[in-house]
Amino acid sequence: MSQYDVIVVGVGGVGSSTLYHLARSGVKVLGLDRFSPGHDRGSSHGGMRMVRRAYYEHPSYVPLVDRALQEWRELEESREETLYHPVGILNVGKNDGPLISGVRASVEQHKVDVDELTPAQFKKRAPGIHRADDHVALFEKNAGYLQVEACVQAYADEAVKAGAELRVGGAVRNWSARTSSVTVETESRTFTAGRLVVTPGPWARDLLLDLCIPFEVRRKPVYWYQTEGNDYQASKGVPAFLYETGDGIFYGYPQVDKFGVKVGEHTGGMRVQDPLGLDRGVDPQDQKRVETFLADHLPNVKRRCMQHSVCMYTMSPDSHFVIDRHPHHENVAFAAGLSGHGFKFTSILGKLLAGIVMGEAIDPDLKFLHCNRPGLRFTDADFEETGAV
């Protein structure tokens, strides 16, 4: 007989929420991870994660953002802990660029509350940000950021309180599934359950190989720079931002602590072959791109880097998440390829994955993220053409 109803492999952003929702619904659930919740080895660390409804990536995400925010609020209330900070987010770029045109599409379709700022309004709202004359600024005042490590820790803690078992410190080597049971092998033990959820973050290529989806992991450094005065202070009402320049999309957060403003580049990033062997040092070329952006658009930030961190994006071929029931195993569900914009959704994705693995129909809001969509998976023809083995 199986030891558990469900095993969750990977207790990071999505996995911690899945573990919580399963445990809360009375399911006997085991969570397995190589590292402890809130760790800095995967994709859920570095302090902050933006939450926006004016969703330039695709309007279909907006209903999910609303549901995710509701889940975050409930988590905050149950713990009497603040996790979400509605500092507002500025979207800046050329009117016809992917950022601004994408924001406008979501705003129009879902009536998102966004203001187009005049140059004078922009200067008042973000005195330390230089906006080029041919760039527009769309301000979403109710957007903000989540404290990423605290969110993962909160879900893991609440899951354990609700009866989940959490085992960290050992890597999962392999899993297999039959009609009514699954087996998960770690470095030291074998566990069995009726069902399985796989939420592997950057290790999707290892743990979801049979999906034949060419996930690509990218190295994403972020930096904190020293500031002076009030131009970049969250306490003075300065918002976070996404800024599309001719070189890519950059983002930043106002100063909330002694480390200064946090900035990074959303686009680009070096390919990572082995997430465990990620180079966590400062790469001069990556840093130069960010510092060029700072010189052009945040000119008053000091060139003194106070802290840096390296994280990873797991890109799907079309940059949209892949969340579904496993195509070959009815009792296995997964979430992968969150493509650098998934954290805000982890609260609702965990709830929906819990439903999927327990046999519920796929929620209509998730349907655009299924794994049989065109262009996602390698086919036999791709293998023949590329000679890949």
Residues in contact with ligand FAD by CB under 6 A are 10-15, 32-35, 41-44, 46, 49-50, 171-172, 199-203, 207, 220, 222, 264, 311-313, 338, 340-344
Q: Which is nearer to ligand FAD, 311 or 366 (CB)?
A: 311
At position 112, the amino acid (one-letter code) is V
CB 329 within 8 A of CB 219: no
Q: Least distance from C-beta 76 to ligand FAD, angstroms?
A: 17
- Which residue is at the shortest CB distance from ligand FAD? 12
Residue 98 DSSP label: H
Q: Least distance from C-beta 386 to ligand FAD, angstroms?
A: 26
Place of tokens 């919740």: 37
Q: Least distance from C-beta 222 to ligand FAD, angstroms?
A: 5
Q: Least distance from C-beta 140 to ligand FAD, angstroms?
A: 13
Would strands 48-51 and 165-168 be described as parallel, antiparallel, or unpaired? Answer: unpaired
Q: Which is nearer to ligand FAD, 43 or 331 (CB)?
A: 43
Q: Least distance from C-beta 162 to ligand FAD, angstroms?
A: 19
Read off φ and ψ for residue 136, nearest 5 degrees. -105, 160
Q: Least distance from C-beta 46 to ligand FAD, angstroms?
A: 5
How far is Cα 143 from Cα 89, in angstroms, rounded to an integer? Answer: 6
Tell which residue, 115, 114, 136, has the closest CA to residue 54: 114
Q: Which is nearer to ligand FAD, 97 or 221 (CB)?
A: 221
Residue 178 DSSP label: -
Terminal Cα distance for the chain, rounded: 38
Taken in order 49, 51, 56, 60, is the CA torsion positive or negative? positive
Q: Which is nearer to ligand FAD, 187 or 228 (CB)?
A: 187
Q: Both tokens of residue 28?
A: 């006997």
3-state secondary structure of 274: coil
Q: Which is nearer to ligand FAD, 127 or 157 (CB)?
A: 157
Q: Which is nearer to ligand FAD, 320 or 329 (CB)?
A: 320
Q: Least distance from C-beta 345 to ligand FAD, angstroms?
A: 7
Q: Which is nearer to ligand FAD, 225 or 313 (CB)?
A: 313
CB 341 within 8 A of CB 317: no
How far is Cα 339 from Cα 343, in angstroms, rounded to an integer? Answer: 10
